[in-house]
Amino acid sequence: MTDNVNVGLLGLGTVGTGVVKLIQDHQEQLVHQVGCPVSIKKVLVKNIDKSRDVELSSDFLTTDPYDVVNDPDIDVIVEVMGGIEDTRQYIIDALNAKKHVVTANKDLIALYGSELQKVAAENNADLFYEASVAGGIPIIRGLADGLSSDKIQKMMGIVNGTTNYILTKMNKDGLSYEKALSDAQDLGFAEADPTSDVEGLDAARKMAILARLAFSMDIELDDVSVSGISNVSKNDLKYGSMLGYTMKLIGYADQDDSRAEVSVQPTFLSNDHPLAAVNDEYNAVYVYGEAVGETMFYGPGAGSLPTATSIVSDLVAVVKNMRLGVNGRSALAPQFEKQLKTSNERFAKYFIRLHVRDEVGAFSELTKLFAQHSISFEKILQLPLEEEGVAEIVIVTHKASLENYENVLEQMKDLSVVKSVESFYRAEGDGAK
CATH says 5-135+304-324 is which class? Answer: alpha beta
The answer to whether the beta carbons of residues 103 and 109 sit under 8 Å apart is yes
Q: How far is CA 90 from CA 83, 110, 240, in A?
A: 11, 17, 47
The answer to whether the beta carbons of residues 263 and 226 sit under 8 Å apart is yes
State mean pLDDT over 310-316.
Answer: 94
Residues 6 or more apart whose Cβ sits within 8 Å of residue 256: 153, 341, 345
Query: Which pLDDT band, with edges at 50, 70 and 90, does 2 fall under?
Result: low
Q: What's the confidence (pLDDT) of residue 385?
A: 84
**Which of these CATH numbers, 3.40.50.800, 3.30.70.260, 3.40.50.920, 3.40.50.1100, describes 347-428?**
3.30.70.260
State mean pLDDT over 334-349.
Answer: 93
pLDDT of residue 245 exceeding 90:
yes
Q: 23-72 pLDDT, tens per residue? A: 999 999 999 999 999 999 999 999 998 888 888 888 899 999 999 999 99
Q: What share of the chain is helix, strand, coil (3-state, %, to 5)?
A: 40, 25, 35
Considering only CA atoms, give the Rg of the chain. Answer: 24
pLDDT of residue 433 exceeding 70:
no
Mean per-residue pLDDT over the chain, rounded: 92
Let me know the angle formed at the C-alpha of 348 by 139 and 250, rounded to the nearest 5 degrees.
Answer: 35
- CATH for 156-298 is 3.30.360.10
pLDDT of residue 352 exceeding 90:
yes
State mean pLDDT over 210-239.
Answer: 94
Q: Which of 74-83, 230-239, 302-311 has the lowest mean pLDDT?
A: 302-311
pLDDT of residue 1 exceeding 60:
no
Query: Which pLDDT band, with edges at 50, 70 and 90, does 386 fall under?
Result: confident
Q: 151-163 pLDDT, tens per residue? A: 999 999 999 999 9
Task: Write down the pTM of the prediction.
Answer: 0.90
Q: What's the confidence (pLDDT) of residue 432?
A: 42
Where exactly are the structural domains of the chain? 5-135+304-324, 156-298, 347-428
pLDDT of residue 431 exceeding 50:
no
Give the up-direction half-sphere exposure of residue 420: CA atoms within 13 A in the CB hemisphere. Answer: 6
State mean pLDDT over 390-415.
Answer: 95
The answer to whether the beta carbons of residues 30 and 119 sit under 8 Å apart is no
Neighbours of 154 (CB within 10 A): 19
User: Which of 42, 169, 206, 349 is flagged as catalytic?
Assistant: 206
Q: What's the confidence (pLDDT) of residue 116?
A: 95
The answer to whether the beta carbons of residues 137 and 113 sit under 8 Å apart is no
Q: How far apart are CA 259 and CA 348, in angstroms?
A: 16
**Catalytic annotation present for 179:** no
Q: How far is CA 37 from CA 67, 232, 314, in A?
A: 22, 51, 16
